[in-house]
DNA sequence: GTCATTTGACCGAC
DNA sequence: GTCGGTCAAATGAC
């Protein structure tokens, strides 16, 4: 995480338009890195928690989803500020889209529209996306269905296209593309790296439960405190404290100086979580990145290989 | 038989 | 005209 950029930009978000756009760009970069780290950390932490006890893994999984969701929403808000600087003081989220795309979609209702074809191509602006770089592109907490693959110009590997597995059931329009950009290096144990671009927000609810992760975390926290009566009580209580702090962040997505500070504070808790679970020294975000980038695929028999030859940890269905 | 993936074709954006 | 995103029939795995 680029602390220096974060701190230097934190006081200039609401300023003149140029400074605001610049700060928003810096924040977007920071948050994209944050999302990448959280995604990789989740792939590392959850299997370890699953071995220790499934219930806590479920809670942590919900927390990770909550954090990623908050980041995505904050990113979207930053984009709105960039597109319309007058919105910097407006906390209400609105949907923005490419004007041409909107016109095309609505004109599809016309008599000249070809059946089932008017929305076939919906080119999306880069502003409608979140990009991550990760060694575990297929492990992000959502279920996806591959619907296409294409060779892209000047790319060594094809790009795969995925849509949410609940698109038909719940009309969830989230999609993503996955493209490998770095070969696996057996000499240095460096895993293959992929660029994952997410489009749109998930509107599905796969478990059919209340998706208010903050509320779920709060409930678990109460249970944990009341039931912890042995040597694990202190550890449980400490984890619950982390849950509570993160849930506070997750309940708000307004992007201002206050929120960014809160977000960074919560993410610093991830360093503690990573250190506890990996028995490694994780005091900086660079170390967190190093730990999260470690690939245990070849060491753990509880890892499966998916249809694409990628390692997937087994800890239940998402 | 069912479901997910593959793959060629289609189509809009550039 | 080229490129890239999406569709849908074909194919394969179970």
pLDDT of residue A194: 87
pLDDT of residue A202: 79
Alpha-carbon Rg of chain A, whole angstroms? Answer: 21
Pair type for strands A175-182 and A159-164: antiparallel
pLDDT of residue A84: 53
Residue at token pair 């997505």 = A253
Backbone angles phi, psi at A38, to 5 degrees: -65, -40
Specify whether the CB–CB gap between A167 and A111 falls below 8 A.
no
Residue A286, class by beta-carbon neighbours within 10 Å (0-12 exposed, 13-18 middle, 19+ buried)? Answer: exposed
Q: Which of residues 38-97 of A touch strand C (CB under 7 A)?
A: none
Nucleotide nearest A179 (Cα, C1'):
C4
pLDDT of residue A95: 32
Separation between the CA of A117 and the C1’ of B9 (whole angstroms): 13
Nucleotide nearest A307 (Cα, C1'):
B5
Q: How many CB atoms lie within 10 A of CB A24?
A: 23
List the nucleotides on chain B closer than 7 A to a protein CB: 4-14
Q: Answer yes or no: is A99 CB < 7 A from strand B.
A: no
Instruction: Write out chain A's pLDDT in tens, 318 residues.
Output: 333 333 333 322 333 444 455 566 666 667 777 776 777 777 777 767 766 665 666 677 777 777 776 676 676 666 655 555 554 434 333 333 333 333 333 333 333 333 344 345 555 554 567 788 877 787 777 789 999 999 998 888 999 999 988 887 777 888 899 998 877 666 666 777 888 888 887 777 655 433 333 222 222 333 333 333 333 333 323 332 222 222 222 222 222 222 222 233 344 455 565 566 555 555 554 454 444 433 333 333 343 333 334 343 333 332
pLDDT of residue A148: 92
Specify whether the CB–CB gap between A221 and A243 falls below 8 A.
yes
pLDDT of residue A150: 92
CA-based nearest residue to A176, from A200, A153, A152: A200
Backbone angles phi, psi at A13, to 5 degrees: -65, -50
Q: Answer yes or no: is A195 CB < 7 A from strand C.
A: no
Residue A288, class by beta-carbon neighbours within 10 Å (0-12 exposed, 13-18 middle, 19+ buried)? Answer: buried
Residue A306, phi-psi category: left (phi > 0), alpha (psi -120 to 50), beta (remainder): beta
pLDDT of residue A299: 30
pLDDT of residue A173: 81
Backbone angles phi, psi at A89, to 5 degrees: -100, 5
Distance between the two ends of chain A, CA-based, in angstroms? 28
Domain boundaries of chain A, sorted by first residue: 12-105+123-313
Sequence-distant (≥ 6) Cβ neighbours of residue A114 within 8 angstroms = none
Separation between the CA of A116 and the C1’ of C8 (whole angstroms): 11
Q: Answer yes or no: is A258 CB < 7 A from strand B.
A: no
């Amino acid at each position: 995480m680029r602390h220096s950029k974060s701190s230097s930009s934190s006081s200039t978000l609401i300023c003149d338009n140029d400074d605001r756009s610049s700060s928003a760009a810096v924040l977007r970069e920071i948050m994209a890195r944050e999302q990448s780290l959280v995604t990789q950390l989740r792939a590392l932490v959850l299997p370890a928690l699953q071995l220790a006890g499934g219930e806590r893994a479920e809670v942590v999984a919900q927390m990770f989803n909550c954090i990623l969701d908050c980041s995505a929403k904050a990113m979207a808000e930053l984009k709105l500020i960039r597109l319309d600087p007058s919105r910097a003081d407006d906390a209400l989220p609105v949907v923005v889209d490419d004007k041409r795309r909107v016109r095309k979609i609505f004109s599809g209702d016309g008599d000249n529209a070809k059946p089932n074809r008017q929305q076939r191509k919906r080119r999306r602006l880069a502003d409608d996306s979140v990009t991550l770089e990760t060694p575990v592109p297929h492990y992000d907490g959502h279920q996806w269905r591959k619907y296409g693959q294409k060779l892209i110009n000047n790319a060594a590997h094809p790009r795969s296209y995925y849509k949410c597995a609940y698109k038909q059931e719940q009309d969830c329009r989230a999609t993503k593309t996955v493209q490998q950009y770095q070969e696996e290096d057996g000499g240095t144990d460096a895993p293959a790296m992929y660029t994952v671009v997410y489009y749109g927000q998930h509107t599905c609810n796969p478990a059919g439960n209340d998706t208010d992760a903050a509320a779920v975390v709060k409930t678990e926290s109460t249970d944990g405190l009341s039931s912890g009566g042995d040597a694990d009580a202190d550890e449980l209580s400490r984890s619950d404290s982390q849950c509570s702090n993160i849930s506070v962040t997750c309940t708000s997505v307004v992007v201002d100086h206050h929120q960014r500070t809160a977000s960074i504070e919560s993410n610093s808790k991830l360093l503690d979580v990573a250190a506890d679970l990996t028995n490694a020294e994780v005091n900086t975000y660079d170390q967190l990145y190093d730990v999260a980038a470690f690939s245990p695929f070849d060491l753990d028999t509880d890892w499966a290989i998916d249809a694409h030859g990628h390692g997937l940890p087994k800890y239940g269905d998402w």
